[in-house]
Amino acid sequence: MKSIAKPVVIFALLILSLAAVGQGLKKDISVHDPVMIKQDSVYYIFCTGNGIAVWSSVDMLNWKREKPVFAEAPKWAVDTIAGFKGYIWAPDVSYHNGQYYLYYSVSVFGKNTSAIGVATNKTLHPDSPGFKWVDHGLVIRSHPGKTNWNAIDPNLITDDKGTPYLAFGSFWDGIKMVKLDADRLTFAEDIAGISTIASRKKDASSGAANAIEAPFIFKKSGYFYLFASVDYCCKGPESNYKMIVGRAKNIKGPYTDKQGIALIKGGGSLVLQPDSNWYGAGHNAVVSFNGNDYLVFHGYDAHDNGRPKLRILKLTWKKGWPEVFN
């Protein structure tokens, strides 16, 4: 029976694989800064790309490229960021009160000439009659020489009372957090005094490059876990991107690592680092499906010239801290 069953299983897998290819599905997809959400039985990935790149899947293995969120560059972004032509960075997706909220970044590489916008949709299914992205434009922006922070890499999180906050930031003064109004479209506090919640600098006077970005906050078991990416992305084989984490009882912090070192003072427990197969790994999201937690991120493939690719790993927890096996 075993000798018969094995070829049957292999043949069935082959048929499924050929069917996937026939439907235009891909397993080894190239993405940057991915975030994932599920509607009904379909998983959706939103990531950096022209108009915001979108992929869909029914199994988190085989992916179909969908049309981008924006067919044309948002006018407010063109008017706000000099030279912007539609390439949008680091989206973040969430669901609230019957709508999907998609925050996104527009920026000049290497500068804090940046802005975060938001669009909403009642459904993520492209074939649904109600499918339509409505852009609400600017949420917050940063200015060279005026703000010592960078309005990029947004992540929406709510506290225990449901109050929305937006974490964001890349380099400069590190990871910031701002309170939003109930509509989630505008900020609800004076941005001149918004707090830093994570930094690579051990003290404010340090002149070292503050290589931290891509915050993602995940609530679990009474804690807020702040994930962030440190060191350098986007350099192919020269990338040394890695992930760190800290946790806090209060959404505003202070976030501390396993040793009790505050993330605002350069702390952060290592989650994932480069190895022989991946030059770097970072800009992650954390999602929960069917009782399991997953780490969603991009890695630079050491066997494919450092090309950025989608990676999804199961996340486990040990003594209140996340663990992942690469």
Catalytic machinery residues: 33, 213
Which residues lie below 8 Å from residue 74, measured CB to CB, with a gap of 6+? 106, 117, 135, 137
CA distance 88 to 107: 8
Which residue reads 């070829």 in tokens?
7
Torsion angle (degrees, nearest 10) of CA 189, 190, 191, 195: -70
Q: Please give the structure tokens belonging to residue 33.
A: 């800064």
| Cα–Cα distance, 231 to 26 (Å, whole number) | 30
Question: Within 13 Å of residue 86, how many CA atoms lie on the same side as its CB?
Answer: 9
Distance between CA 276 and CA 17 in Å, rounded? 28
d(CA 37, CA 287): 7
